Amino acid sequence: MNVSDNYRGNWESYWSETSDAPGEAIWDSDPSLTAEPHSALLLPHADRARPIVDLGCGNGTQTRYLATRFARAVGVDLSHAAVEHARRAAGDTPVEFEQLDLTDSDAVKALHDRLGDCNVYMRAVIHQSEPAARPAVAAAVATLIGSAGRAFVVELTPASRDVLGRAAAEPSGPPPKLQRVFHHHLKPADADEGEIPRLLGEAGLTVLAEGDTVLPQTEHLTDGTRIDLPARWFVLAGR
């Protein structure tokens, strides 16, 4: 299956209306808070000589960091506008970006055929995908890592809904960056409890390590508290 036109359009419009300023997207946190600690969890299990593919790379902030830890880094995103953001931000950084629909199994397989068994980094993609598309997104991880690659997947938990609900209920209304997420009809923390582990297992992925964490955002409440969204991380291998 492929994602719906509405879903694709929502992401295209979001990134088209987002500036190139670092942190403009609510999830565009500094790699020191995200890709850096996540890499530290992945690397004991992964061969850094293999390429790493950043699934749902957005404007490429995390991909650029991953390029410092792995032999080759490729960022892919559903949105053409996001990929253009990422390419502009990369400058001379040795990193690659391309458009890819993770539910297009033929395109995912073609990427694997080009790169071989890869490592994968995927931060908060399944939870906001359309429910019918989520199995295909998990299957894309399995296809790309094959038998020799490893994956780091981190996804928001349902507890994030409470945090987002409190932010949206601020007396002055949702903070601007969160308001933009709602304006473009994006749906954070949409997956139910247990859905992510089930989808990963059904895709043929084996959990090597896992734990609880938070995903820091680039937005704050009116009292200055940073919005940190509860999440769970998994290091995965193929079966």
- HEC states along 80-140? HHHHHHHHHHHCCCCCEEEECCCCCHHHHHHHHHHHCCCEEEEECCHHHCCHHHHHHHHHH
Q: Tokens 């994956």 appear where?
A: 151
CA distance 73 to 212: 26
Is the pLDDT at 45 greater than 90? The verdict is yes
Q: What is the mean pLDDT of residues 121-127?
A: 96
Q: In this structure, what token pair is assigned to residue 65?
A: 């960091």
CA distance 136 to 236: 16
CA distance 155 to 44: 20
At residue 191, the pLDDT reads 85
pTM of the model: 0.96
pLDDT tens digits for 78-106?
A: 999 999 999 999 988 899 999 999 999 99
At residue 193, the pLDDT reads 84
Sequence-distant (≥ 6) Cβ neighbours of residue 19 within 8 angstroms: none
CA distance 43 to 55: 17
At residue 239, the pLDDT reads 81
Q: Is 203 in a helix, a strand, or coil?
A: coil
Is the pLDDT at 217 greater than 70? The verdict is yes
Is the pLDDT at 201 greater than 70? The verdict is yes
46: left (phi over 0), alpha (psi -120 to 50) or beta: beta
Give residue 93's Cα distance to chain centre: 20
Q: Is 74 exposed, middle or buried (0-12, 13-18, 19+ CB in 10 A)?
A: buried
Task: Return the percentage of the chain with pLDDT > 70, whole number.
Answer: 100
Sequence-distant (≥ 6) Cβ neighbours of residue 127 within 8 angstroms: 155, 156, 188, 189, 190, 191, 196
* 98: nearest Cα among 136, 153, 50, 55: 55
H or E segment and range at residue 185: none
Is the pLDDT at 189 greater than 80? The verdict is no
Q: What is the mean pLDDT of residues 135-144?
A: 98
Residue 1 — pLDDT band, cuts 50, 70, 90? low
At residue 188, the pLDDT reads 79
Cβ 102 vs Cβ 108: under 8 Å: yes
